[in-house]
Structure 1
Amino acid sequence: MDRHDRFPMTASREPNPLRPYYIPPSIGPAQGALPNNATAQTANVSRASRPSPSYQSNASDLLPDLDLDFRSSAGEAWTNTRTLLDTLAWRYASCLMAQPFDVAKTILQVSLPPNVAAVATPRKRRTSPRQSSREGGSRRSDRAYESFSETDDDAEGGSQASDDDIPDYFSSTAPRSRSPRKRRRTPPSLSPSPDPTPTQSRNSRSRRDNPDAEYKLMLKRGESVMHAISVLYDTSGAVGLWRATNCTFLYSILLRTTDSFLRSMLLAVFGLPDLGGPENGGLTPGITSSSGAGTTGLDLSDSPSPIASLVVIGLASCLSGLLLSPLDLVRTRLIVTPSSHAPRGVLSNLKRLPSLLMPSKLGLPTALYHSLPQMFSTSMPQILRRQFHIAPESSPTLWSFASFGTSLCELFIRLPLETLVRRCQVNYIREYARDAPLIIEPAPYLGIGGTVYSIMYSEGETKTKDAKGMIRIRKGQGSAGLVRGWRVGFWGLVGVWGAGSLGPATESRRGEF
Structure 2
Amino acid sequence: MEEGTRPEYIIPVGSADGVWGMIKRLGAFRGEGWLALWKGLLTSCVTDIISSTLQPLIHSALQAIFAPTSSSPYLFPSTTTSIVLPVASHLITGFLLSPLDLVRTRLIIQSFTERHRTYSGPVDALTSILRDEGGLHGIYLHPHLLIPTLLDNTLRPLISLVLPPLLATRMFAAPISMDTHPLAWGVVEFASSCIGLLATLPFETVRRRLQVQVRGRAKPLKTCVETRPAAYNGVVDAMWHIMTEERSDLPIRRRRRRTGDKGKAKEGTAIEIEEDDVPVSWWRNTGLGQLYRGFGMKLGASAIVFVLGIVSGGDEGDAGWAEL
What TM-score does the superposition give when structure 1 sets the normalisation length?
Answer: 0.48
Distance change >3 Å, CA 310–CA 484, structure 1 → 2:
same
After TM superposition, give the deviation of residue 385 of structure 1 in Å.
Answer: 6.0
1:380 aligns with 2:163: yes
Q: Which residue of 2 aligns with 1:338?
A: 111
Shift of 1:246: 0.7
> Partner amino acid for 1:433?
A
1:447 aligns with 2:234: yes
User: Alignment partner for residue 92 of structure 2, among 314, 319, 328?
Assistant: 319
Superposition map of 1:301-320 within 5 A: 306-320=79-93
Report deviation, 1:471: 2.4
Cα distance in 1 between the residues matched to 2:251 and 2:280:
6
Quote the Cα distance in structure 2 between the aligned partners of 1:374 and 1:450. Answer: 25
What displacement does 1:422 show? 0.5
Aligned residue for 2:35?
Answer: 239
Letter of the 2:188 counterpart:
A
Deviation sequence 1:209-253 (CA, Å, 0-9, x none): x8x722112221266222222232213122222111111111222
RMSD: 3.5
* Match 2:10 to one of 213, 216, 238: 216
Q: Point out where structure 2 has 5 or more consecutive residues left out of the alignment.
A: 253-275
Change in 2 beyond 3 A, CA 1:222/1:453:
farther
Check 1:317–1:473 CA distance in 2 against 1; reply closer, same or farther (3 A cut).
Answer: same
User: Structure 1 residue aligned with 2:186, among 397, 400, 406?
Assistant: 400
Counterpart of 1:251 in structure 2 is 47
Q: Does 1:493 align with 2:273?
A: no
- In structure 1, the residue corresponding to 2:249 is in which secondary structure? strand
Distance in 2, matches of 1:346 and 1:397, equals 39
Query: How far, CA to CA, are the matches of 1:384 and 1:459 in structure 2?
Result: 34
Name the CA distance, whole Å, in 2 between partners of 1:503 and 1:345: 36
1:174-189 residue pairs with structure 2 within 5 A? Answer: none
Which letter maps to 1:414?
T
Code of the aligned partner of 1:457: T
**Pair 1:426–1:409, CA change in 2 (3 A):** same
Q: Contact 1:456–1:478 (CA<8 Å) still a contact in 2? A: yes
Q: Is the 8 A contact 1:321 1:370 kept in 2?
A: yes
Whichever residue aligns with residue 194 of structure 2, its letter is: L
Aligned-residue offset at 1:352: 1.2
Q: Which residue of 2 aligns with 1:457?
A: 244
Q: Which of residues 229, 232, 236 is equivalent to 2:23? A: 229
The whole-number CA distance in structure 2 between the counterparts of 1:432 and 1:326 is: 18
Q: Distance in 2 between matches of 1:495 and 1:316?
A: 27
Task: State how far apart, in whole Å, the 1-side matches of 2:183 and 2:97 are.
Answer: 38
Work out the CA distance in 1 between the residues paired with 2:241 and 2:88: 30
Q: In structure 2, give the amino acid aligned to 1:355.
A: G
Inter-partner Cα distance in structure 2 for 1:433 and 1:458 = 26
Structure 1 residues not aligned, in runs of 5+? 1-204, 277-297
Deviation, structure 1 residue 397: 5.1
Give the equivalent residue in structure 2 for 1:480: 289
Give distance in 1, aligned partners of 2:66 and 2:187. Answer: 34
What per-residue deviation string (whole Å, max 9, x for no partner) do you get for residues 122-145 of structure 1?
A: xxxxxxxxxxxxxxxxxxxxxxxx
Residue 471 of structure 1: aligned partner: 278
Could you give the per-residue CA deviations for residues 443-464 of structure 1, whole angstroms, max 9, x where no partner exists? 3524323322332333235149
Per the alignment, residue 351 of structure 1 pairs with 127
TM-aligned CA deviation for residue 309 of structure 1: 2.1
Q: 1-side partners of 2:226 and 2:314: how far apart? A: 49
1:477 to partner: Cα distance: 4.0
Over 3 Å counting, the alpha-carbon distance change for 1:394 and 1:450 in structure 2 is: same
1:431–1:229 Cα change, 3 Å: farther
Match of 1:371 in 2: 154
1:438 is matched with which residue? 223
Q: Percent identity?
A: 25
Letter in 1 for 2:53: T
* Higher Rg of the two aligned structures: 1
Distance 1:452 1:223 in 2: 23
The total of aligned residue pairs comes to: 277
Cα pair distance change 1:395/1:268, threshold 3 Å: closer
Q: Distance in 1 between matches of 2:68 and 2:87?
A: 15
Alpha-carbon distance between aligned partners in 1 of 2:109 and 2:168, rounded to the nearest angstrom = 44
Alpha-carbon spacing, 1:232–1:433, altered in 2? closer, same or farther (3 Å): farther
| Residue 343 to residue 448, structure 1, CA distance change in 2 (3 Å) | closer
User: Are the structure 2 counterparts of residues 509 and 461 from structure 1 closer, same or farther at C-alpha, using a change threshold of 3 Å?
Assistant: closer
Check if 1:412 corresponds to 2:195: no
Aligned mates of 1:384, 1:471 — CA distance in 2: 39
Alignment check: 8 A CA contact 1:377 1:410 kept: yes
| 1:309-328 Cα shifts (integer Å, max 9, x gaps) | 21112222122122111111
Aligned partner of 1:423 among 204, 209, 222: 209
CA separation of 1:377 and 1:258: change in aligned 2, threshold 3 A:
same
- Looking at structure 2, the residues matched to 510 and 213 of structure 1 have their Cα atoms a distance apart, in angstroms, of 45
* Equivalent AA in structure 1 for residue 142 of structure 2: S
What secondary structure, in the 3-state scheme, does the structure 1 residue paired with 2:198 have? helix
Q: Confirm or deny that 1:360 pairs with 2:142.
A: yes
Asked if structure 2 preserves the Cα contact closer than 8 Å seen for 1:384 and 1:390, the reply is no
